[in-house]
Amino acid sequence: MPAYAAPEEIQVYLDDMSNAGQFGLDIHNNYVVSGDSMTPYRGGTPPMHEYRLTPEFYYGLTQDLELGLYLLEARDADGSTHFDGEKIRIKYVAPHDAVTGAFWGLNIEIGKTDLNASPVPWNAELKGIWGYRTGAWTFGVNPNIDWNPTAGGGPATLDVDGKFAYAVTDKTQIGMELYSEFGPVRQLQALNQNSKTLFLALDQDLGGIDFNMGIGRGLTSESDKWVIKWIVGTHF
């Protein structure tokens, strides 16, 4: 099967939320250093050397509820740039101890994109959020169900993203992130099928500006071989 380009957002959702009435901005960036040079589907863009830029604007509706908007943009290997569409999301994280113990939440996302980003125009995702903190360690996992909300849009699929990180200081974390696709929910496929990418990641707080940076290695033949990603975020 063909390898798809890296998604517009390579991130494991944890319990970070905007305060009620507060705006935030994350700028998602990723670049396929080494990947497939063939188009993954008719009208698609080859993953090799594709750069994706996705500003994400969000607003705290309450302390537990957040609304977000993604604007998808990309540059192909030949240098051509294009706007790929937009997505909106709403995220809920249940009240919990922010220092230690478990947390959980849900994120629902829907958007319309062009062929450069997806073989189908409408996409939706239900993302589960679960995590645990103990001492300097943080663990998080996101089971994601993706589907096309229009009639005849194909089967729903399952992805599972995970992260564990160790706090070196109160502003610096290092860890690993794993992004795994498993195929249709009703017919999950073998572990050596579909894209699976492991990232070495760094999280850094620099005076109110948050950085998440990582270098990823594809673990299957359907994955991009090498991907780099960086996310810059702030509140205002």
- The angle formed by the CA atoms of residues 181, 71 and 176, to the nearest 5 degrees, is 40
Higher-confidence position of 236 and 138? 138
Across 10-32, average pLDDT? 96
Tell the burial category of 43 from Cβ atoms under 10 Å away from its Cβ (0-12, 13-18, 19+): exposed
Q: Mean pLDDT across the stretch 37-57?
A: 87
CATH 3.30.750.24 for the 23-235 domain, yes or no: no
* 94 pLDDT tier (thresholds 50, 70, 90): very high
pTM for this structure? Answer: 0.93
- Identify the sign of the CA torsion 146, 130, 11, 197: negative
Quote the DSSP letter at residue 111.
Answer: E
Instruction: Look up residue 84 and give its amino acid.
Output: D
